[in-house]
Amino acid sequence: MGLLSGILSSKTVRDIAKGGAIGILNTIEEERKNGENYMTELKAAREDVTTEGQLIGDNYNKALRVMEGTGNTAFNNFLYEQMTIAQLAGLADLAPTTKDQQLKQLKFQFEALGEAEQNAYKEGNYAEQAKEQYDKEIEDLRVSKGLVNNNRMGENTVASLITKGVRQKFKKEEDKVIGQAIVPEIVTPAVEEGAGIYESIGETAFSESRLKLMIDQDYIDGTLEDLVRNRLINEGTFNIDSQQLQTLVNQEYNKQVNSAKQIFMSQGDDLIATITAEVTDENIDEVLK
């Protein structure tokens, strides 16, 4: 200041100092406004990540529950490879019969594979892969929404030195906001191998299948009784008491249901869709063989 005072007037020196101070204040104010705008955007990003992350996490948890519930690791690895997480999660929202029908078709595809292909699926780990995929999807979501650390504390410029205090304050707020985004934890239910529903997949669907309902209707309306009576007459038996007749009718019903179930469980779709011949009392045994 001594050199300047020898060249410039004291008023001029004061004006220069005053201008410098105003410039510093303006720089600080600009950084403060930028920080406030950034925090507003960051908070919006936090809400987006929390909302969308909840949906993503719910889908993964639903998908894992569907797979884990089968109790068959090889089949689960097959499901994970063949279907998307959204598709697997969708199974969890289906009515029990519809879900069972869908799983039956997938089981049919799996069991149609050769032994070597089925065994290869025993080596995978669908749960770990799903968790890794989930973590990546959440991280991608954070980046796409801008919920990432944007700290510039390491910058070494005049402006950064002037605004260091302001940026330190916003850095603390930034860390807090980023940490407030809550996403679901992925939980894999523990189902022992072989203890799930795999062996019974298709039974619920069969109980409400069109073929099973047709056999039930034949039982109710007396069609099966007529079939048994006609068979007895053809065999030369004309007199039989009601209790014996009912026993034979029940046996015929069980035989048809068991035969239909075996065929239904070995098909990829409802049996009726695969039968082209008309089903009558005379040919039903042949159809069900």
Which of 57-66, 180-189, 192-201, 266-275 has the highest mean predicted lDDT (pLDDT)?
Answer: 57-66
Tell me: the pLDDT tens digits for 173-182?
A: 777 777 777 7
Tell me: the pLDDT tens digits for 86-114?
A: 999 999 999 998 999 999 999 999 999 99
Burial of 99-120, coded b for 16+ CB within 10 Å and e otherwise, reads bbbbbbbbbbebeeeeeeeeee
Burial of residue 228 (CB within 10 Å: 0-12, 13-18, 19+) is buried
Q: What is the pLDDT of residue 287?
A: 46
* Dihedral sign computed on CA atoms, order 147, 152, 153, 154: positive
Q: pLDDT confidence of 187, banded at 50, 70, 90? A: confident
Q: pLDDT confidence of 170, banded at 50, 70, 90? A: low
pTM summary value: 0.66
**Which has more confidence, 28 or 249?**
249
Main-chain phi, psi angles of 251, to 5 degrees: -65, -40
**H-state helical runs in 93-185:** 96-111, 115-120, 126-145, 158-162, 164-179
pLDDT > 70? residue 19: no
Relative orientation angle of helices 73-82 and 10-68, to the nearest 10 degrees: 130
Q: What is the pLDDT of residue 277?
A: 46
pLDDT > 70? residue 81: yes
Euclidean distance between CA atoms 251 and 225, whole angstroms: 11
**Which has more confidence, 158 or 93?**
93
